Structure 1
Amino acid sequence: MKRITFSFLNSFKAVSILAIALVISTANAQSSYTVQFQDESIAIPENISTFDWNQMPESSKLNDRYYGWVQFYQTPIQDIQDLFKSSGLELIEYIPHKTYLFSFPESTSITMLENNGVRGIIPVPGSVKLSTALKNPPYESYAVEGNNIIVTLQHYKTVNTQFVISELARKQIGVVHQFDNSNILELSIPNNCLADLSSLPYVKWVELISPPAVKDDIKGRGLHRANGLDTQTSAGRNYTGEGIGVLVRDDGRVGPHIDFEGRLVNQTSVSGQSHGDGVAGIMTGAGNLDPMNRGMAAGANVWAVNYASNFLDSTTLNLMNSGDVQITNSSYSNGCNAGYTTITQTVDTQMNDYPSVLHVFSAGNSNGSNCGYGAGTQWGNITGGHKQGKNVIATANTNFAGLLTFSSSRGPAHDGRIKPDIAANGTNQVSTNENNTYQTFGGTSAAAPGIAGVSAQLYQLYSEANSGALPPAALIKATLMNTANDAGNVGPDFKFGWGIVNGLRAGKLLEDERYLSDQVSQGGTNNHTINVPSGTKEVRFMVYWSDPAAAVNADPALVNDLDLVVTDPGSTSYLPYLLDHTPNTVNLNLPATNGADHLNNVEQVLIDSPSAGNYDIEISGFNVPVGPQEYFIVYEIISENLTLTYPNGGEFLHPGTNESIHWDKVGLTSDITLEYSTNNGGTWTEINTFPNTVITYQWAVPADTGGNALVRVRSGSFQDESDAPFNIAAYPTGLAVTEVCPLQATFTWDAVPGAESYDFYILGEKFMEVVGNSTTNEITVPITDSAAPIWFSVSAKNATDGWESRRTIAENHPGGEFGCTLAIDENIFSDAISLYPNPSNNTVNISMNSISVSSLEVSLVNSLGQILHRSNYETVNSNNEISIDVSGYAAGLYFISFNSEGVTTTKKLLVM
């Protein structure tokens, strides 16, 4: 590791000051004032008592302000932070260990700085403005263009971008891309001018452009407990994400597909790709075509744009700024274990600038790759810098049973923080594809939209409970993590993060308002009291905060460091979970212990079999250099050791299919036994018995038609069963359309044994809607436009026995009349016929417009009642061409009569 010692040289005192600086650097080399940045160890001298602004080089001055690093003896308290801000002294970014990047007016009083705890000031070394990758050629081909390299430059926000572009042009440096309202530019530069570029006063940071984007692709509702938030029953929860905007940042247009009917806005012209379709279906598919393929947030508003790795594309920014979008999903990789890049800084900043915006990412499918963390191929391979953000969510991939897939990227983050954040099912998902088809879709690409969709459900829940207000994204992320089903090692780990998402538990936490928020400043302490009722099996307390963006390449990336201590009614104190991030395979795979965490912006205390009473939750500002810091406390109180979550009442199961039974568990020691009943619990039949580590089972649904089915799960003295009966029944087959007429259409299907009636569905504005009920296997329903496509479906039911089937996969009639044998209404007949041109001097054409008739007689009569022409036609509709030559007739008024099955009408014709 390089060590840099700073001295301030001027033309008169170069030798003496250099000697002093070297002595100071040696004394402080191992002190708490040494700053570790990238691969360099920087010793900042204690020079405030002798410092003068004239010691700063010209490259540190711009527009009457100085830029550099300022170090304090101690992290400044909030009063000092506020004083600096009110005095125009900008602390731009926190560099770990009491040091900030600053921008001060040239008139700033040194005495004022000294009196407020400043220890030393140095110019920013040019070398720390360059990423490690830039300083270590050769470069990857994606960043090379001839003799130039393509880099990302970040300039100070106080400097006008056009000024920077002009100054770069004078140095023959070309701008490849400029981003609106951003201080980031992409440049093409000669590979020998990096040192000159980094020394420019307006340059804050330079790194290689991000690697090319790679899609992270390789039966989630039940595993995610999203079905518990969207039961599709009148008595259950019905949170579909309605009113919430989600953004698919992917490979182009989504659809066309009726699963997004009335909810999809494509803001890209790229077509013919399927990755974004798969993402969108898992996140927000309505299951209109196939009810078994319903996604998480089936009612959310969906926007689709092209993926842009830097998150500075105008469409994404505009949708966040307008409030149309609250949740984004990006299932793409950009490199591996990339560190805290400009993109990471951007997404963390956006989530602070837009507190209700939540960025969700795939963790990547790169397990097996050695990405430089130091522990080989099984650790530290989270893909892309954006996923390393502190405030975002990175998602691991499991199969339907909750087992981690081998390919799912693992943490830690580059600085040892917990990544991924959470896990979800992404393996072998069935999701939407374009042109009303489905595809098998998988990888962390499919896991991330599961989290994004559940988040949209939670946003709706919170909004409806809070007069339409949107939730802070930090609260939703904390809720998801604290209620997740523990998986892998006990507590958090670097494979599953905080566990497998449990949307139902998360929803209940928000419904019960088991959360609070406050803020804390440097050195401050807050105490909160939370009551834990008797009978609680497990309690979880979590503190989470949306941390300010760190300096690019900061290590660690944590800026504000809060501490959590929980004290029970018996005065026993508990410290949060703590993981060992030492870069070797043994330490990284160890279960979490407990201790003070100074790395993550989330801390959790979990207590099994807690005593009833008041618990003290202490939150202290251990190191809050950018304060005050808002935080959220969420707490999960689990009162049952065993809870069945699916099927839980009202579901429609089809005999002979496989259904995933799911349950939640804590503190089990005995094997688990599954049973089912078809008579509302009168008798039970065993399904299977297995170890208590299992949380799901694939059940072959029996051929027992009825509406009184239950499932029960038992372990020792603990058991739980479905809250209400569910249905087992066959759905109809042979569904077809037999007639389409101007105002109505007729459909038939094969009868289902035992069915008393059938509900018939047609696609409405957004969803399949019941438009009629029939006691036979045929129905005629009204329509408004016979030329429009019709998507239709049917379900069987028996009110006497109390059962109903799932509706069938939707069928499509592309539009147009056929087979219409309905009697013709005289007014409809008259209104449907038109003549053109009228007047005419050559040929008159006859249009049938929107009706179809099996026979038609057409007669041309003059004003004396004489028939001049008569023709007969069969099966006449809007596709037939009927015309009469009137070129030989004298000018005057004529009449054309029409007769079909005894219904007549007459039209006037003027011949010129």
Structure 2
Amino acid sequence: MNKPAIFCLLFSFCCLLLHAQVTEQEYVKDYALHDLKDSLPAGQHYYIAGLNSDNVFCRPEEFSIVRRLGKNLAIIHVERLTDSIRNHLRFLFPANNKWKLSPRFSTSPTGKGKYLIRLLNRKVNTLNKHKLTVLYSYQNSYIVSAQQSVLPAGLLADDNVLFIDNHKSPVVETVLNGMDLSTNKITAAHSLYPAIAGDSLTASIKENLFDTTDVDLTNRYISTGLASSITESHAGIMATLIGGAGNSYYTGKGVAYRANLTSSDFTNLLPDSDDTYSNYSISVQNHSYGTGIENYYGADAAAYDETATRHPSLVHVFSAGNSGDKTSDTGVYKGIANYANITGSFKMAKNIITVGSIDSFYHVLPLSSRGPAFDGRVKPELVAYGTDGSSGAAAIVSGTALLLQQAYKQKHGHLPPGPIVKALLLNTADDVAAKGIDYQSGFGSLNALRALEENQAQHFTFDSLSTGETKQYSLQLPANAVNLKVLVCWADPPATPNSYKALVNDLDLQLVNTLTNEIHQPLVLNAFPLKDSLQQQARPGRDSLNNVEQVTILHPGAATYQVQVSGRDVPQGRQAFAIAYQWDTLNSFTWLYPTKNDNLAAGDINTVRWQSNLADEQARLEISYNKNAGWQNVGQTNISNNLHSFTVKDSFRIAQLRVLFNGNYFYSDSFTVSKRLGTGVGFNCPDSFLLYWQQAPGIQQYRVYGLGQFFLEQKAITSDTFMLIPKAGNPLYYAVSPVIGNYDGIKSYGFDYTTQGVDCYIRSFLADLATPSTALVRIELGTNINLRYVTLEKQYGTQIKNLATWQPVTSTSYTFTDDSLTQGLNLYRLRVVLTDGRSISSDIQTVNYLNNKNFIVFPNPLRAGQTIKILTSQLNNYQFILYSSLGKKLIQANLPDISNEIYPGILARGVYFYAISLDGQVVYKGKLVAQ
């Protein structure tokens, strides 16, 4: 090849690289370019190739594309050149092996190396050859360790190695505090679909282990043997958000509150084994952790994409991260502040759902990580409530995915394909942040109720196609239809790690108005790496990056639309896809919170919610606390805000809300207004215990709940504010709620009566020196119910003396001052006498009285079998030494407490001497007589 030709080829190559926005010039080997007419150099199998078209189809015996560097630029694996291969190529550059390394790769300075590797073929002997220990694998992806910190010699040059990355340590995203399930319409979904709560489904929480004994998870934990040995509160919060039963309090109720839960250690960043997902029927896995900002498609991303093809019903949900204020220092979007800061290469996968966080007013939080993905794809796909981070937001989406799976299974008898669940979740999301899809909120804020409604209405379809094929579906819209949304989603095959874009099979969606032939294309974001471009509003166009495409029409009118899905480029197999569609009804209004099952917190600020597409104008919100009468104005609000906050009256009532708009009233369900009752345990005796609770104004009845196999169950309705419960056959865990008309008010905290610090009627009984010569006795009773009298007793040798008696027992708190102390031990006991004559005695309380002495040694004389008691006025490093009358040392012991006991063994009758020393100096001595 002559020099001008080489120059032209180099120039063309550089132009291609610039067009692809990559810097892969470093991947070219530093020896001569290869002429396509020549045979290939011996031992050289990987090349940088210029392709004649981005639609390249080849047989395995020809060449394989192992990594895309640009639209018409790729790393290929080829054994020999044939005329057929030459027809596909414009040029070849022999490639070095740097293209196999992740952008973040670095060699550990000390210790063992730990790597994430992807192979061309699943051959463990490849790794054995390089003396690597396989720690875990998923299909062609491996986590391995090497004896040295440096990359093993020859590994990078191995033809079977496609990708090498450092193995990273995950960390949980910020812990979530507080919860508001009404933000994402979950409380409304619970109210309207009470039979859908995740029954018989299992979600896996991949991170450290949650507390499997948590009362909100009772009897619903499934052990797989994959759980971490570390228990962490963050995991407990995620488990509660996904599937908490609400036994502890209403804030402990999760989205899929009847689902089973299991745990998988997240130190393994690859998917769990196929057998784990299958054997334990795991249909959703939650991932609320990150490893730092990473803008590339790694072997871990490819592995998670692969699970979608191997487990078609499995849904993976990841938190986007809490680095929204950070700037990436790698990738195409390097240096663009507050964009492209998703935390982890595994979150670059296509077939997962990545979730950012919003507050209860639908504002995307500043710390919520933003897209785009490394190749310009939409990330995150959804946002959900999570005021302290995206962890909880991901958990809420995971729980909602379980609800959809159960609803689908009820109708069809089997779990839905993952793309149907994803399509429904994304297409029903409420638009927040910028209009349409965007790189802050993706397709919008999760709307659990709307997703269930569209599932129940069967507003979806599932089909498949190949390259060049088009599928068409007719969609008839009524005259009052507005906000039409149609979305296509497919589980795309995994791409090769480090490819310049992740999409493999490219489908196209469009809507055609059959009357006007007007074509509507999906919304597409500007992915050009400038901040101004990334902030632009999405516009209709052809999407060649995402495996999710959505068409929206604000005013479709009464028309028939043809939904068309085309296989533009499907190089791998026949591609299955899901379509979801929905529209709103003009001038509609629906109350979402509170529903008939909800309670507004009395005396506190509450946020109420509705869904409406009425005109963007002011409306008046009113509340009635008196059975649809006596309406009170609680504020003006723009009806398009879909929410309003106000302070609710401090009362226990049934209330109702209404909105006045353009002369029309829109009424909510009736609901309760109440607050949490204070509860306690009066006594905990061997055969029974007493529960009591705060009396609520105007309330005549209370409902008592006890913990059943999974949930709190009604035990009784009573008009009293206490309940005596026999222990036999009854649970340990209880809660109480006021009965307001035909409704239950808010339940109290759930509590275990055995852990409330109450004995049999006696909560506490304490005696201490109040002055150098007086003792103060303090008495706290659990209750005064069924008590005849209470007596304080003092022991004098073998005699018992009554110090005080309280009858009737009108209080639960008493004190007594004893000014008749005797030198040595003063022993007190409390005796409680019940109305049925039974008597209950406390443990003995002791007060040590030294009568202005530093030490007291007693009893003296000492009888056989007794212990020697030594009282000291202060703690110090004292020692006690006992001598015989002849001066022989018999006992030497430390005195670690103010009150000490020493057993001397069998002492012969006679006189003994003792000494108390401090640091070798005798500070006290005396005589002891043994009888």
Q: Do both share a fold (TM > 0.5)?
A: yes
**1:714–1:450 Cα change, 3 Å:** farther
**1:756–1:556 Cα change, 3 Å:** same
Which of residues 757, 766, 788 is equivalent to 2:710?
A: 766
Q: Name the counterpart of 2:910.
A: none
Matched, 1:202 2:160: yes
Helix, strand or coil: the match of 2:126? Answer: helix
Q: Is the 8 A contact 2:293 2:342 kept in 1?
A: yes
- Per-residue deviation, residues 697-755 of structure 1 (Å, max 9, x unmatched): 33322245443x22224555776432x3212345644453556665x765443444443
- More divergent stretch after superposition (16-25 vs 210-219): 16-25
Distance in 2 separating the partners of 1:88 and 1:462: 44
Distance in 2 separating the partners of 1:685 and 1:541: 42
Q: Is the 8 A contact 1:525 1:621 kept in 2?
A: yes
Which of residues 130, 137, 154 is equivalent to 2:101?
A: 130
Q: Name the counterpart of 2:648.
A: 701
- The residue identity in structure 2 corresponding to 1:394 is T
Distance in 1 separating the partners of 2:715 and 2:518: 62
Matched, 1:340 2:286: no
Q: Name the counterpart of 1:222.
A: 182
**1:621–1:74 Cα change, 3 Å:** farther
Tell me how far 1:179 sits from its aligned partner.
3.3
Distance in 1 separating the partners of 2:309 and 2:18: 29
Correspondence list, 1:730-879, <5 A:
732-736=677-681, 738=683, 747-779=691-723, 784-785=728-729, 790-798=732-740, 801-814=741-754, 818=760
- The residue identity in structure 2 corresponding to 1:57 is A
Matched, 1:252 2:223: no
- More divergent stretch after superposition (318-327 vs 291-300): 318-327
Q: Name the counterpart of 1:449.
A: 395
Q: Is the 8 A contact 1:56 1:122 kept in 2?
A: no
Helix, strand or coil: the match of 2:282? Answer: coil
Q: Name the counterpart of 1:479.
A: 424
Which of residues 148, 157, 164 is equivalent to 2:121?
A: 157
- The residue identity in structure 2 corresponding to 1:58 is G
Q: Name the counterpart of 1:330.
A: 287
Matched, 1:530 2:475: yes
Helix, strand or coil: the match of 1:281? Answer: helix
- The residue identity in structure 2 corresponding to 1:208 is N
Matched, 1:628 2:574: yes
Tell me how far 1:596 sits from its aligned partner.
1.4
Correspondence list, 1:632-671, <5 A:
632-639=578-585, 640-666=587-613, 668-671=615-618
Q: Name the counterpart of 1:166.
A: 128
- The residue identity in structure 2 corresponding to 1:215 is E
Tell me how far 1:257 sits from its aligned partner.
1.6
Distance in 2 separating the partners of 1:213 and 1:554: 26
- Per-residue deviation, residues 785-825 of structure 1 (Å, max 9, x unmatched): 57xx6111122225xx4443222211221289957999xxx
Q: Name the counterpart of 1:461.
A: 407
Tell me how far 1:657 sits from its aligned partner.
3.3
Q: Is the 8 A contact 1:282 1:294 kept in 2?
A: yes
Which of residues 669, 685, 688 is equivalent to 2:632?
A: 685
Q: Which runs of 5+ in 2 are unaligned?
A: 763-784, 787-831, 843-931
Helix, strand or coil: the match of 1:518? Answer: strand
Distance in 2 separating the partners of 1:265 and 1:513: 32
Q: Is the 8 A contact 2:760 2:840 kept in 1?
A: no
- The residue identity in structure 2 corresponding to 1:319 is T
Q: Is the 8 A contact 1:341 1:553 kept in 2?
A: yes
Q: Is the 8 A contact 1:35 1:97 kept in 2?
A: yes
Paired-residue identity, %: 23
Distance in 1 separating the partners of 2:148 and 2:73: 33
Distance in 2 separating the partners of 1:94 and 1:638: 42
Q: Is the 8 A contact 1:48 1:119 kept in 2?
A: no
**1:214–1:775 Cα change, 3 Å:** closer
**1:667–1:732 Cα change, 3 Å:** closer
Q: Is the 8 A contact 2:216 2:248 kept in 1?
A: yes
Aligned length: 759
Helix, strand or coil: the match of 1:197? Answer: coil
- Per-residue deviation, residues 478-509 of structure 1 (Å, max 9, x unmatched): 11111111111100111111111110001101
Correspondence list, 1:300-699, <5 A:
300-308=259-267, 310-312=269-271, 318-372=275-329, 373-427=333-387, 442-467=388-413, 469-568=414-513, 569-639=515-585, 640-666=587-613, 668-679=615-626, 681-682=628-629, 684-692=631-639, 694-699=641-646
Correspondence list, 1:181-192, <5 A:
182-188=140-146
- Per-residue deviation, residues 85-120 of structure 1 (Å, max 9, x unmatched): 7x898776767646777778x7x99466679x6777
Helix, strand or coil: the match of 1:538? Answer: strand
Helix, strand or coil: the match of 2:181? Answer: helix
**1:489–1:215 Cα change, 3 Å:** closer
Distance in 1 separating the partners of 2:240 and 2:410: 24
Tell me how far 1:23 sits from its aligned partner.
5.3
Q: Is the 8 A contact 1:34 1:41 kept in 2?
A: no
Correspondence list, 1:21-60, <5 A:
24=9, 26=11, 30=15, 39-40=24-25, 50=37, 55=40, 57-58=42-43, 60=45
Distance in 1 separating the partners of 2:398 and 2:10: 49
- The residue identity in structure 1 corresponding to 2:155 is L
**1:618–1:96 Cα change, 3 Å:** farther
Q: Give TM-score, length-normalised by structure 1.
A: 0.75
**1:546–1:717 Cα change, 3 Å:** farther
**1:671–1:690 Cα change, 3 Å:** same
Computing the radius of gyration from Cα coordinates, the structure with the larger value is 2
Tell me how far 1:679 sits from its aligned partner.
4.6
Q: Is the 8 A contact 1:737 1:813 kept in 2?
A: no
Tell me how far 1:199 sits from its aligned partner.
2.0
Helix, strand or coil: the match of 1:248? Answer: strand
- The residue identity in structure 2 corresponding to 1:418 is V
Distance in 2 separating the partners of 1:637 and 1:486: 14
Q: Name the counterpart of 1:144.
A: 108
**1:528–1:99 Cα change, 3 Å:** farther
Q: Is the 8 A contact 1:73 1:119 kept in 2?
A: yes
Q: Is the 8 A contact 2:477 2:559 kept in 1?
A: yes
Helix, strand or coil: the match of 1:505? Answer: helix
**1:730–1:214 Cα change, 3 Å:** closer
Q: Is the 8 A contact 2:134 2:142 kept in 1?
A: no
CA RMSD of aligned residues (A): 3.9
Distance in 1 separating the partners of 2:264 and 2:396: 19
Distance in 2 separating the partners of 1:342 and 1:128: 14
Q: Which runs of 5+ in 1 are unaligned?
A: 1-15, 61-66, 428-441, 823-852, 856-872, 878-912
Higher relative contact order (CA 8 A, sep 6+): 1
Distance in 2 separating the partners of 1:39 and 1:93: 12
Distance in 2 separating the partners of 1:285 and 1:193: 45
Tell me how far 1:767 sits from its aligned partner.
0.5
Tell me how far 1:674 sits from its aligned partner.
2.3
Tell me how far 1:417 sits from its aligned partner.
1.2
Q: Name the counterpart of 1:866.
A: none
Q: Is the 8 A contact 2:113 2:148 kept in 1?
A: yes
- The residue identity in structure 1 corresponding to 2:361 is A
**1:121–1:769 Cα change, 3 Å:** farther
Distance in 2 separating the partners of 1:655 and 1:27: 72
- The residue identity in structure 1 corresponding to 2:348 is Q
Q: Is the 8 A contact 2:63 2:85 kept in 1?
A: no
Distance in 2 separating the partners of 1:180 and 1:560: 22
